[in-house]
Structure 1
Amino acid sequence: MAENQVDVAKPKNKHSRLGLFLPIGLFLIAALLWSGYWFYTAHQIETRLAEQAKTLTSKGYQVAHAPFRVQGYPFRMFLQLKDVRLIAPNGKGLAVPALEAEASAFALDKWMFVATKGLTLYRGQGADQSDLGQVAVTGDALRVSVSGWTQPLQTIGLEGLNATFTPSKPEHPFVLQSAQRLEGRVTPTKDGVDTVDFIWRASGAQAHPQSLLGRLGQGQNFDMAFQGRMAQASKFRGDLNGWREAGGAVRQVQASLHVGELEVFGRSEALLLDPNLALSGPLGLEVKGTGDPFAFLLGAGLISAEYEPLARAFVGTKMTADKPVKLDFVFREGGVYVGPLRVAAAPVIR
């Protein structure tokens, strides 16, 4: 009799749960490491700001702000600063009632700052040692971006929309009253030398009637731009004499002004400051429009009223829309020269 063969099923191997728990475990480890990094970095930011405040205070600065904590976990570094105040020993500085600062936790080299409730500029003292007071600045957007914190020179961008400027002392007017748009940018040059390229633009702007731009604009809105390359940029910290003595200069200068039918373009290979902080260097101007160019030249202070009769022989008397007036000025020895003729005092920068 044939033996009955019974197949006994082999027990199946149980599936390992490692494949289920390993990703979860790795995720938890990564989250723990990232959390440690974030909180450590947040603490470092708070510590360094406190140390920087102490350093500035020891140098005579006024530094103040309300207590704060870094927020934004897990992917941002966000600071909400209140009652910020930073005043240099020369009396110049700013106060910001509410300042927001933000950076990606993945890229701490770039920060964006927003003054959500405007700011106040402290202007320091004038040439006669009088207090120039403050300027209240408000607008729809007042933003500054800074990148390259670990580099000797940073890239800085500035933007203001529908900005207004209100001086606390009307007897010391501020150059601008309002601007539909303000833009500025400072970028270190790629050669690694202590040099930056800069550009500043104002669109739809109104200037104070007593200021240089106000005299040029004659109550009309204007657009202007100013750009160039600054040497010895790291020395330019508000101490103009120190910057000048270190070889500071502004090169490859280009400027433009559009107001009404008037268009003005300026160029200079290099502008420097003399020991009295008066401008020194050549300036080429091209004035387009109609009428007498002296209305602009007198308003700009490039020709003084007392020198007008003599200067007309060098400049001419009329300009037309299709024939611009081209002028070459030289700032030297505290004066403005057209050829050999001194026509005004050179502007003094303070």
Structure 2
Amino acid sequence: MTSPRHSRRGLLIPFLIVGLALALWTGWWFYLADQVETRIAAQEQVLRDDGWRIAHQPVSVGGWPFRTRVAFPQAEIIAPSGHGVSAPELVAEANAWNPGHWVVIAADGLTLTRAGKGRIDIGGDGARMSVNRLRDRFPDLRAELIRPTFTPREGAEPFPIASAEHVQFEMRPHLTDGVAATDELDVLFALIEARGRPGGPVEGAARSGHLSVEIEATIEQASRLRGVDSAGVFSNWSAAGGRFTAVRGRLRAGESSARLSSEALSAREDGRLEGRLALTAERPGEAMAGLAGSRSGAVNRVAAAGAAAAARAQGDRPMDLVLRFSDGRTWLGPFALAPAPKLF
């Protein structure tokens, strides 16, 4: 008696299922890649119509099967204000199953263009940015530089920072009782263990040591952070009544340190900050004396020396101080130390 022959069709079913799934996934991947290219081209055209300068070599899309990888060789992005960045190559990547979360990497460094001040080459161990929840009104954004170096090109104005251990910027919608606020953003900026350029104000304040700054705030009128004129996004925002509120942070410059806070800061028509910044400082005289000895033309060295003498008269006890940004200057009591920080 012959034994019955068993059908091998059952063995083929798993392979057929895998093949079908792979075909469907491949179709999805190519659809996604096409959508990415189409949306990039459309967004670039919108920016160009608004006065931005966007340039790069032909874009390449890859990453099949699990990623979408878009490479922009010789990329340059310049805002209407004249500020911008360029890189030998920018690479944007997202998981194919989560196209709302992108990571952008500049593996070969960046060049920062400052309007009217020249270009700064940024080297180091990495520059990257992640953007999540792209379909929301305000996405989550995080950018960081890992052990960056800052080198001005020939003819560029000096840059206050020569290097740092880490630079970080984060932005996300402000939450009120767990719900995203309508028109507010939370921002955080951290500059960790920065070294100033020789003879500059940062090196002076840190007394040849490190400067670290961590500051967070809420931006009101966030939807107004856009603009097509040469002053950039902050001009439109400031004119609409935009402010930084709930400002909190810490600063360390060499042996000096301070906790800082402000309920509100705004900007004048010329872009310089206005408002009051409260500080609880430890050994502020050291930083003031360092500023007085710097060779920066932006620092009022006589005023810094006076502020240093007044601070040292209080000894090493913590001091409550107030920095005022007024009339385009930064004031510590009666001493006008330097121009107020400029947003645009």
TM-score range, shorter chain: 0.7 to 0.9
CA distance 1:99–1:179, change in 2 (3 Å): same
Q: Could you tell me how far apart the structure 1 residues matched to 2:23 and 2:115 are?
A: 50
In the other structure, the counterpart of 1:235 is 224
2:69 maps to which of 42, 63, 78? 78
In the other structure, the counterpart of 1:199 is 188
Give the deviation of 1:229 after TM superposition: 1.3
* Partner SS for 1:156: strand
* Partner SS for 2:259: strand
Q: Is 1:347 paired with 2:332?
A: no
In the other structure, the counterpart of 1:272 is 266
Give the deviation of 1:84 after TM superposition: 0.5
1:289 maps to which of 283, 286, 306? 283
* Partner SS for 1:189: strand
Q: Which deviations, in whole Å up to 9, do the C-alpha atoms of 1:95-115 show, x marking residues without a partner?
A: 110222211001111111111
Q: Is 1:261 paired with 2:255?
A: yes
* Partner SS for 1:109: coil
Q: Which deviations, in whole Å up to 9, do the C-alpha atoms of 1:13-58 show, x marking residues without a partner?
A: 8756554343333322222211111101101111111222222222
Aligned residue type for 1:221: H
Give the deviation of 1:275 after TM superposition: 2.7
Moved more, 69-78 or 253-262: 253-262
In the other structure, the counterpart of 1:184 is 169
Percentage identity across paired residues of the two chains: 30
Q: Could you tell me how far apart the structure 2 residues matched to 1:275 and 1:261 are?
A: 36
Q: Which deviations, in whole Å up to 9, do the C-alpha atoms of 1:100-155 show, x marking residues without a partner?
A: 22110011111111111101111012xxxxxx110000111111111111112121
Give the 5 Å matches for 1:38-187.
38-125=29-116, 132-169=117-154, 172-187=157-172
Moved more, 233-242 or 172-181: 233-242
Larger radius of gyration: 1
Aligned residue type for 2:252: H
CA distance 1:269–1:210, change in 2 (3 Å): farther
Q: Work out whether residues 283 and 329 of structure 1, in 8 Å CA contact, stay in contact via their aligned partners in 2.
A: yes
In the other structure, the counterpart of 2:215 is 226
Give the deviation of 1:209 after TM superposition: 4.3
CA distance 1:220–1:308, change in 2 (3 Å): closer
TM-score (norm 2): 0.84
Q: Could you tell me how far apart the structure 1 residues matched to 2:43 and 2:131 are?
A: 17
Q: Could you tell me how far apart the structure 1 residues matched to 2:330 and 2:164 are?
A: 30
* Partner SS for 2:165: strand
Q: Work out whether residues 249 and 271 of structure 1, in 8 Å CA contact, stay in contact via their aligned partners in 2.
A: yes
* Partner SS for 2:182: coil
Aligned residue type for 2:169: G
CA distance 1:265–1:196, change in 2 (3 Å): same
Give the deviation of 1:272 after TM superposition: 0.9
CA distance 1:331–1:68, change in 2 (3 Å): closer
CA distance 1:208–1:345, change in 2 (3 Å): closer
Q: Which has the higher contact order (CA 8 A, sep 6+)?
A: 2
Alpha-carbon RMSD across the aligned residues, in angstroms, is: 3.1
Q: Could you tell me how far apart the structure 2 residues matched to 1:170 and 1:218 are?
A: 27
Q: Could you tell me how far apart the structure 2 residues matched to 1:138 and 1:345 are?
A: 29
Q: Could you tell me how far apart the structure 1 residues matched to 2:132 and 2:24 are?
A: 26
Q: Is 1:318 paired with 2:303?
A: no
Give the deviation of 1:240 after TM superposition: 2.1
* Partner SS for 1:151: coil
Q: Work out whether residues 238 and 267 of structure 2, in 8 Å CA contact, stay in contact via their aligned partners in 1.
A: yes
Unaligned stretches of 5+ residues in structure 2: 227-231
Q: Work out whether residues 293 and 325 of structure 1, in 8 Å CA contact, stay in contact via their aligned partners in 2.
A: no
Unaligned stretches of 5+ residues in structure 1: 1-8, 126-131
Give the deviation of 1:167 after TM superposition: 1.0
